[in-house]
Structure 1
C-alpha cells in the first residue's frame, strides 16, 4: 500500500486537507499529512506537525513563529525539504501532493524540488495559471502543476472535483509511474539544442543513438541547460555534446531574455572532468520579449521569431567576450575536451547574405580560442555552416571518438 505525503498549511487549509486525506484513504493508499503552516492555531491534527518539521530542520517553533513572514517561509521551506528527503530516503513515502495558494506553493514546491527526478510530485495551486512563469512553481524539477480554479477557502463543488482528480493523479503516479531515473550504465550523453540549431543537433544525436549510446537532449532556453548542468553534477550524465550555448548570451546580459536562468554553463562538465564536445552554437543573438528590447535595438538589428519574441543581434565585442568566457570555463576541465567551430555560421540564417552571417567575427572567435584554450583542449575549425548536415556528422564522430578512448 502506497503512502502519499500531503503538504499544506493546516491552519488555513484544514477543510481541504481533511477532504484529501479521506479521499486518498478511500482510493486505497495511506495519507501522511505534513503541516507547513507558519501562522495561527491549527484546528486539524497533522501526522507530522509543524513543530516537528522545524525541529528536524534545526529550528524551534518559537523562532519560526516570531520571524518576519518572508523569513519564516524560507526557513519552513528548508525544514520541509529536509523532512521530505528523509521520508523518501527511508522509503516512508511514495509520492507527495501539495495544495494551496501562494504561501503553500512557495513552501511546498521549494521542498519538492529537492526530491529526485521521477519521484511523483503534484502541486495543486492557485498560481499555476495566468500570466506567471513556471519557474515560480516547478523550477528545474518535474513537479506536475494543476490549477486549483478556485481559491482554497473551504470545500465546494469545484474544489471537490479538482482535488478528487489530484488525488487520483498522484495515486496513479505512485502506483504506476516509472520510478526514479535508472543509474548510468555505460555512457549517457547530454546534448543541447533549440530551434535555430535543431536539425544539425538532431542529426548528430541520431548518430549517437545508432552507435548504441544513451542520449538526453535539453532545450537550451534557460531551464534546459540548467537541468543538464545539475544532472552532470549529480553524475546522471557522464558525457556531453554541448552544441548550443545560447544560454550564455542572456547570462552575459545579467539574465535578460527568454533564455535566461542557466548561469555557469559548461562548469559542471569541466569540474567533473567528463568527455566534452563543445560548439558555441547560438551565442550570436539574444531572444527578447517586446518589453525587454534594447534602446539601440534598431542599430543592432533584429527579426521577429514569433509575435512575442525577437532574435536580436549582438555586437561583435559581446560575442567575443562570451567566447573568452567559454574558453576560461573549459580550461578548468581535467577531462578530454574538443571544441568545434563552424566558420560559416553558428545557427540558421547565418549563411552568406543572410541576417546572422558574421564571418569576420567568427574568424576573431577562432583567434581567441586558439590563444586562450589550454594546450590539451583540441580546437577543430571547419569551413562549414552549423546547419550543414556534414557538421552534425562531425560532431557525432568527435563525441564517439572521445567515448571510445574513455576519460
Structure 2
C-alpha cells in the first residue's frame, strides 16, 4: 500500500511569531516534502506571507464578531480568535482529511491552540510547543490527548536552542501525522466508512481493579472495545459507560488531590449514553505522601497506600453528602433514565473497605447507600442493591452483562 500523504494544520499568532512558525513549517516539509502544511493565522493583526493558507481576516470573519478587533482588550481578542479558528478548523476537518495539528506559543498562544485542540477528535495528533509546558498544564490539556513540549527558551526570535526544539516538534508531528494517516486508510471499510467496534468506558482505581478486570473480559468477549479510565471522560463518544469508580467525588468534597470538578457524573448522563454507576473507592480521599497530609486529617482513619499516596477514610457525614451528590447529578442531568442504573455493593466499596480491612465502616457505607436511594426515588433511575463487595467476580460479571443489555436497548430504540 502506498502511504497516504498527511495534511497538518499549523495554527498560531503570526503577527508576533511569523519567523518561528515559518521555521516550523519548513522543518515539517524538510522531514517529509509530501506533507501538505495548512498555515492558519490566529493573530491579532493581519500578516502577509505567501505561505499563509488561511489569513487572519478570514479567521476573524469566521468568529462572527462585529466590532474592530483592535479595540478589544487582550482577553477578548484571544476569545474571538479562538472562536474563529475553531470554525475554520472544523470546516477543514469536515471537508478534507486532517492528520495532525501543531502550534507554538507563550501563555496567550498556548491558550488559543489548546482551546482549539480540546475540541478535536481523540487520537488526532495534537502538539503544542509552549513556554508554559514545564508547569501545571491541566488547564490547557483538560481531559484530552494534547501533547505539550517545553520550549526551554521564550518563543521570541530564533536561536540555537529554539531551532532545535522546533525541529524536534516538526519531526514529532510529521511522524505522528503520517502514522495517523496510514491507520486511517487501513481502518476504512470497502464502502469508505470507518470500521469501529462499539466502545465501553470503565472507570478504575487500584482498589477496584479486580472488578474492572473481570468486567473487561466479559465485555471483550461480547465484542466491545473497552477503554479503562481513572475518570469518565468518555461519555460523548462511548456506546456505554461502566462507571464503577467514582472516588473523585470524595476528593472534591473533602479536599483531596484527585477531584474531577463539578462536572463529574454529568457527561454520560447528558449525552444519554447507557451507563451503570457504582460507588467504588468512595471510602477514601486521596492525598500525597504522609508527611504532606494536612493537620486537620491527622486524627482520621489513615491508610498509607504507598510512599506517594495517603488515603483518609470518609466519615458517615461525608458519605451521606456524597450519596446526595451522586443522586442529584444523575437526576438533574440524565436524559435517558431508562438506560441508567446505580448498583450498590452492600459488602464493601473497595478492596480495603470490606470486613476485616482498614477502611471497613458499615455506618459510613449505609449513609452513602441510603442517601442514594432517597435521592433517586421517583427519578426513573433504577437502584440495584447486591449482597457482594465491589470486587466480587460474580458482581462484576453481572454488572457487565447488564450494561450489554442496556446498550442493546438503546441501540434498538
Which bracket does the TM-score occupy, shorter chain normalised?
0.7 to 0.9
Q: How many correspondences in the alignment? A: 391
Q: 1:387 to 1:53 in 2, by over 3 A?
A: same
Alignment deviations for residues 318-362 of structure 1 (CA, whole Å, 9 cap, x no partner): 211221232334444432333222222211211224321111222
**How far apart are 1:192 and its partner, in Å?**
0.7
Matches within 5 A, 1:114-125: 114-125=119-130
- Tell me how far apart the structure 2 counterparts of residues 402 and 205 of structure 1 sit (CA, whole Å): 16
Aligned with 1:56: secondary structure? helix
1:136-215 matches, cutoff 5 A: 136-177=139-180, 178-179=183-184, 187-215=198-226
| Equivalent residue, structure 2, for 1:279 | 278
The separation in 1 between residues aligned to 2:25 and 2:339, in whole angstroms, is: 53
> Which residue of 95, 102, 111 corresponds with 1:97?
102
Give the aligned partner of residue 327 of structure 1.
327
Change (3 A) 1:128 1:171: same
What is the deviation of 1:140? 1.9
Structure-1 separation of matches of 2:195 and 2:373:
34
The question of whether the paired residues in 1 share the 8 Å contact of 2:234 and 2:268 is answered with: no
**Among candidates 31, 39, 42, match of residue 37 of structure 2:** 31
Unpaired stretches in structure 2, ≥5 consecutive residues: 188-192
- Offset at 1:155? 2.1
What is the RMSD computed on CA atoms of the aligned residues?
Answer: 2.9
Matches within 5 A, 1:10-159: 10-26=14-30, 27-28=32-33, 29-38=35-44, 42=47, 46-59=52-65, 63-91=68-96, 93-129=98-134, 132-159=135-162
2:317–2:367 Cα contact (<8 Å) kept:
no
User: Displacement, 1:397?
Assistant: 3.4
User: In the alignment, does 2:389 pair up with 1:385?
Assistant: yes
Distance in 1 between residues matched to 2:396 and 2:100, nearest whole Å: 41
SS in 2 for 1:266: coil
Please list every run of 5 or more consecutive structure 1 residues that lacks an aligned counterpart in the other structure.
none
Q: Deviations over 1:199-229 (max 9, x none)?
A: 2212211121123223222113xxxx2x223
SS at match of 1:173: helix
CA–CA distance in 2 between the matches of 1:174 and 1:37? 25
Distance 2:265 2:10 in 1: 37
1:250-292 Cα offsets, whole Å, 9 max, x none, are 3435xx4322234333334334444322211122222234798
Residue 397 of structure 1: aligned partner: 401
CA distance in 2, matches of 1:271, 1:115: 20
2:365 counterpart residue number: 362
Alpha-carbon separation, structure 2, partners of 1:266 and 1:260: 12
The 3-state SS of whatever aligns with 2:241 is strand
Q: Deviations over 1:15-46 (max 9, x none)?
A: 2122122223332123222222236x857563
Secondary structure of residue in 1 paired with 2:65: coil
Residue deviations 1:383-402, cap 9 Å, x none?
Answer: 33223333323322332444
Q: Give the distance between the partners of 2:292 and 2:78, measured in 1 at CA.
A: 31
Name the structure 2 match of 1:260: 259
Does the aligned pair in 2 maintain the 1:184–1:237 contact within 8 Å? no
Matched with 1:313 is 313
Q: 1:34 to 1:258 in 2, by over 3 A?
A: same
Q: TM-score normalised to the size of structure 2?
A: 0.84
Q: CA deviation at 1:99?
A: 0.9
